[in-house]
A and B are shown apart, each in its own frame.
Chain A
Amino acid sequence: MGQLAQNLTDIGYMDTLAADSTPLHRLDPRAKLLTTALFIVAVVSFGKYEVSALLPFLLYPVYLAAQGRLPVGYLLKKVLLVSPFAVVVGIFNPFLDSGVLLRVGDFGVSGGWVSFASILLRFFLTVSAALLLLALTGMNSICEALLRLGVPRTFVVQLLFLNRYLFSLTAEAESMSRARALRSAGRGCMGFGVFIQILGHLLLKTLDRAERVYRAMLCRGFDGHIRVARFSNIGRPELLFCGAWTALFLVFRFVNLPVALGQAVTGLLK
């Protein structure tokens, strides 16, 4: 129950963050979407033993979070709490791949640990990029961008509806499970039978709501065609944002900057 309410506040909070107005927030959503996509592809395109070359990519999420005035602690917590499938699968690598790949003095690190570290780093980069995209853009603008990038209208409208009714139905689900909790003092867990009843009633309520929504839409002149508002355009800031980051990603992808930097520093020390 508490978890449900928490999820609801979380979703709402992401929208609150997206409502801010920094230069990054004001960028055309298409620019942010495409740049983020490029970022993710660049990150996952590295070999599985790559760790050092991935580090410069941290600059992108760091820049977005700092420049977009986003709460870093909150977002970090969200990234860390995310479903740990990648981590669970990755943790097997150190056991299965024990060939020594990296040597620091006498200390050898096995390939498995290196690739596990690489998985963790990829995980952090890709997940934080997706969260930051949402926090800087908001669902409605992302939908606008998707439509203008050629995604089928039916699907975009579906996303918009889903985003709109998510709150109402989650609140409905929350009040139902709270009502159950209040009436079953002491027994915290929900049994299967009760669960089915609650889901069934929630579904009935949902279907009724769909009918009401449809009538309301008809009353307001719905003709089977949903129009999506367009707010922004591709201009100089967008081109600059995309261009600069694309160039940086290319450099990060093909030049291992940390190794070059490290060689320079260790060379100086010698």
Chain B
Amino acid sequence: MHMADALLSPAVGGTMWTVSGGLLAYSAEKVREEADDRKVPLMGVLGAFIFAAQMINFTIPATGSSGHMGGGMILAILLGPWSAFLVMASVLTVQALFFADGGLLALGCNIFNLGFFTCFVAYPLIYKKIAGDSLNGRRIMLGATLAGIVGLQLGAFGVVVQTLASGISELPFKTFVMLMQPIHLAIGLVEGLVTAGVVSFILKARPEILAAATERKPIGVSVKGALAGLGAAAVLTGAALSWFASANPDGLEWAMLRTSGKEELESGAKVHGLLASLQEKTSFLPDYGFKKAEAAPEPAAEEGGTQAAPEAEEQAPWPAVDAGTSVAGLVGGLLTLALAGLIGFALRRRNAAA
């Protein structure tokens, strides 16, 4: 479920980078304020644990498929949300670099989808509310499972919104949501059960670890202030990037979109602002941010998508539309490929000779 560079527009990628970068800086500041020396190696080694644990697969009963752990919730329970967010971000960064999971531009999205929702929404609003500070096995079980499910559902929804706002994929909102959410319900359930299992294991084997974790945590995860700032940053970046894009004579991507780029982006920025104040405004979600996005792809989908091409022709004269340029594009493209290969080959020969 890692978001990928190939599906992103620079505006969405940049906005999410800004948001995640802001969260990262804020979390780093919070962790620094805690001034707990012991946490420096602890966070590092726990990050490596998540990494290693993700490589162990187990068989999901009755399905034959295999699952592994995401790990954000375990980190939040052991370290508190700020440190957990930093560790999660570092794990995702290393994955983006070593395994090219997602990509560098999509890193902002991935940190937000997998880190933010788990550490700052699911953990304080679900796990904490259910499990509290008591070390009650059953409550921890329930809280961890539910938080795992909700965290992943929100993350999957984030992927949908970001993909949609980028406009590279043709999937309409409804279909995409119907594809993503049920799959991630199953994955989230597994994730939740694994988290619950591991935390219960630790509770039985070394209860003092969890007790220390609850004590050490700075109480009161006051995300509201930070979120307001982040929402503002997101709107600003979104607006700035959309201005840049629409001022660009080439009309980057959104000229090709069915709705004008500005609307698309504003709805994207609104979504981020919305998610930020999710706790109060959940009920506004359907008719505030998504009607537009949902309404836009629908008619096109009903009319069989043929609408898209002529409309696009009207909006932006694309070089590839008329037959002459098509042939030229193909010929030139093949030549470019051959040329690139040749250059690589020549460089390699020269290096080998040197």
Contact = CB atoms under 8 A, between A and B. Distances in A.
A122 B6 contact: yes
B198 A85 contact: no
Contacts of B25: 152
Contacts of B326: 102-104
A206 B48 contact: yes
Interface stretch (B8-16, B143-151, B265-273): B8-16
A206 B2 contact: no
Contacts of B255: 47
Interface string A190-217: 1110111111101110110110011001
A40 B273 CA distance: 26
B295 interface: no
Given A55-B340, A155-B89, A196-B197, A49 B256 contact: yes
Nearest to B257: A48
A66 B168 contact: no
Nearest to B82: A154
A46 B103 contact: no
B103 A134 contact: no
Contact of B52 (A92, A134, A161, A166): A166
B202 interface: yes
A118 B90 CA distance: 30
Contact of A67 (B51, B304, B309, B351): B351
B142 interface: no
Interface in B190-205: 193-194, 197-198, 201-202, 205
A190 to B, nearest CB: 4
Contacts of A45: 9-10, 252-253
A115 B301 CA distance: 16
B201 A114 contact: no
Contacts of B256: 47-49
Contact of B170 (A67, A93, A103): A93
Interface in B15-67: 24-25, 28-29, 31-32, 35, 37-38, 40-49, 51-53, 55-61, 66
Interface residues of B, number: 121
A57 B143 CA distance: 48
Interface string A86-104: 1001101100111111111
Contacts of B40: 157, 161, 214, 217, 224, 226
Interface in B239-294: 250-253, 255-256
Contacts of B301: 96
A111 interface: yes
A261 B46 contact: no
A214 B37 contact: yes
B2 A85 contact: yes
Nearest to A3: B55
Interface in A137-186: 139, 142, 151-155, 157-166, 168-170, 172-174, 176-177
Contacts of A37: 104-105
Contact of B86 (A36, A55, A154, A265): A154
Contacts of B9: 44-45
Interface in A56-105: 56, 58-59, 62-63, 65-67, 69, 72, 78-79, 82-83, 85-86, 89-90, 92-93, 96-104
A67 B59 CA distance: 44
A259 B318 CA distance: 12
A47 B44 contact: no
Given A126-B6, A265-B331, A47 B337 contact: no
B226 interface: no
Interface of A: 3-4, 7, 10-11, 14, 22, 36-37, 40-41, 43-53, 55-56, 58-59, 62-63, 65-67, 69, 72, 78-79, 82-83, 85-86, 89-90, 92-93, 96-104, 111-112, 114-115, 118-120, 122-123, 126-127, 129-131, 133-134, 139, 142, 151-155, 157-166, 168-170, 172-174, 176-177, 189-192, 194-200, 202-204, 206-207, 209-210, 213-214, 217, 222, 224, 226, 254, 256-263, 265-266
Given A47-B253, A92-B171, 6 more contacts: A3-B55, A4-B55, A48-B167, A89-B171, A162-B44, A199-B197
Query: Lowest 6 CB-CB distances: which A-B pairs, in order?
Result: A161-B44, A262-B332, A99-B309, A258-B332, A200-B201, A262-B328
